[in-house]
Amino acid sequence: MTAPNAPPAKGGIARTDATGRVEMIPELLAWSSSLGDDRAFVREDILGSAAHVTMLAKVGLIEAGDAQKLRGALLAMYDDAIKGTLVLATVILIMVSCLPRKMPVAATAAVGGVLLGIAVEKMLLESFGVWGWGRWGLLLAAALVASLAGADSLMAGRPLPALVDLIGPKEGRVKHPGGILLGGAHALICVLAAGIALGFVFDPRYQDFPYASLPFAVVPLVLLAFLERPQTGERPLAETAFAALFAIAAIYIALNEGVRNWQSLWMCGSLAALAVTLWRARVEPAPE
């Protein structure tokens, strides 16, 4: 057998299967591959990862609840490794389950990064008069606040504040500063979106489609509504009324503008997403 450090045979090139070629030197490939060692030490690697998670929790870099879930998942992988039943699919599922908060935050950042420049450009070029500058400026500001405060709430596991949590009875109002900012942006987005929807229904002339700023504002609210929604409580009246308005307006505007108007369809999709978000809102019933 050729030694691992022997020069390649004439005409031979060391390659991997990923290149789609077959003329690779088996000895060199075996010498450079650590897959066998990785498999042999997989149990030790998993225990080391569990210990690392414990350290991260002790120094406060991750929450205790998240650390407990991660350790549980890693120890389950360890048991599978002991039994010889650990497969790659299990590892992938564990990796995905470790990113429930970070992936939505990344999605929020990606949407904001893509749409922010377009929204600013549309505001500068299409705003007409004081009302136009005020409306698009407020929507863009609310979108920025919703994006930042929404990311903070996603990481902290706080739900989207309902409108009554912001302006309702004092004892039931949201107390966290991030929640107050997010609730204010939420309320402002609903009011501005209602004005946009009613404008396109009753007087669509000279109306500009907010196909950038409206999705920018809605995406953080949608993610919070689906990932951090309260499991109990009643559906608040204000959110129900807004949801009905946005759903009906989205259908009417889409039919009125036609399927070839992509800006209209984009805006109507944002209104429909906002309607679903508001429909999922829940609040605790007021004490009698």
Element (H, E) at 243: helix 237-257
- From the number of C-beta atoms within 10 Å of its C-beta (0-12, 13-18, 19+), residue 175 rates as exposed
> End-to-end alpha-carbon separation of the chain, Å?
86
User: To which residue do tokens 């500063």 refer?
Assistant: 177
* pLDDT recorded at residue 191: 95
The pLDDT of residue 222 is: 92
Q: Rounded distance, CA 263 to CA 251, Å?
A: 14
For 232-241, write each residue's pLDDT tens digit: 788 899 999 9
- Cα 13 to Cα 22: distance, rounded to the nearest angstrom: 9
Q: How far is CA 261 from the centre of its chain?
A: 27
CA distance 42 to 82: 10
Structure-token pair, residue 112: 């904001």
* Residue that is written with structure tokens 């004439």 in the block: 10
- Which residues of the chain, if any, have pLDDT below 70? 1-39, 61, 86-102, 231, 285-288
Query: Do 190 and 278 form a contact (C-beta atoms < 8 A)?
Result: yes
Environment class of residue 11 by beta-carbon count within 10 Å: exposed (0-12), middle (13-18) or buried (19+)?
Answer: exposed
pTM over 0.95: no
What is residue 277's predicted lDDT score, i.e. its pLDDT?
94
Helix axes of 64-83 and 42-58: crossing angle, nearest 10 degrees: 170
pLDDT at position 227, please? Answer: 83
User: Nearest CA to 183 among 158, 156, 152, 162?
Assistant: 162
DSSP H helices, 33-128, are: 35-40, 42-58, 64-83, 88-97, 102-126
Comparing C-alpha atoms, which of 220, 244, 238, 239 is closest to residue 280?
239
Per-residue pLDDT tens over the stretch 61-100: 677 887 788 788 778 878 877 877 766 545 544 554 555 5
The pLDDT value given to residue 74 = 79
